[in-house]
Amino acid sequence: MKSRKGDLYEELKRQILTMELEPDQDLDEVSLGERYGLSRTPVREIFRQLEGEGYVDIRLNRGARVVPMNHQTLRNFFLVAPMIYAAIGRLAVQNFKQRQLADLRDTQERFRTASVTGDALSMVLENNRFHEIMGEMSGNAYLQPSLSRLLIDHARIGHTFFRPRNDEMRNRLQLAVDHHDGFIAAIEAHDEDAVVSLVFEHWELSRENMGMFITPEGMKADALVDRPAA
């Protein structure tokens, strides 16, 4: 059975990834402690652990908050994400273990099921876990922390992709599912080039999806601007 401390740790991670806790939102250690039956000390220990993993920012004399997401965050994310994902993919092919491949398959089936049922929150978490397992496959102590940090913002930036609003978005979601299947097949075949090629296809799909959700549907450039009288 999980401890109350473990429950709070996992719940905070889940809520940050799914945007139930928004970027820059303050975390109230008193109310969280009361809810989970914990004193301030273990709650602060959880905050410090989450800070080390990139989920939380602790400010001197101001407490903990969900790690912010601003224009510099987004710039850095889009700049380095494809390079890190490609390196992870190549190393995953070289170093994966069969039990990790089995975990990847199981996670993919949960992701596929969630995509069919439309369970957006499960899709966010299972997609995150899928790429996390690829990081574990890489076995690289330098790249894994960078991947973990990327995945936090990847989930937060792209979470609305898992709530498709039209047929085009549903088709794009199915393509993401297909890409995951391709990753599994290429890793099992020890095909580094195929994995890296899929990484860039998958990244481009993600990048386009994020862009589509940044711009509100149907918004026109002059929609909020009064036009001059004729």
pLDDT at 178: 97
User: What integer is the mean pLDDT of 39-52?
Assistant: 94
Domains of the chain (ranges, CATH numbers): 4-66 (1.10.10.10), 71-214 (1.20.120.530)
Which range is least confidently modeled, 11-20, 49-58, 167-176?
167-176
Res 229 pLDDT > 60: no
Global confidence as pTM? 0.85
Which two structure tokens, joined as six digits, stand for 81? 């994400």
Confidence of residue 74 (pLDDT cuts 50, 70, 90): confident
**DSSP type of residue 160:** G
Question: Average pLDDT of the chain?
Answer: 89
Which backbone phi and psi does 179 adopt, to 5 degrees? -60, -45
Number of H helices, E strands in the chain: 9, 3
45-74 CB burial, b ≥16 within 10 A, e <16: ebbeebeeebbbbeeeeeebbbbebeeeee
Confidence of residue 143 (pLDDT cuts 50, 70, 90): very high
**CA gap 200, 217 in Å, rounded:** 26
**CA gap 150, 76 in Å, rounded:** 10
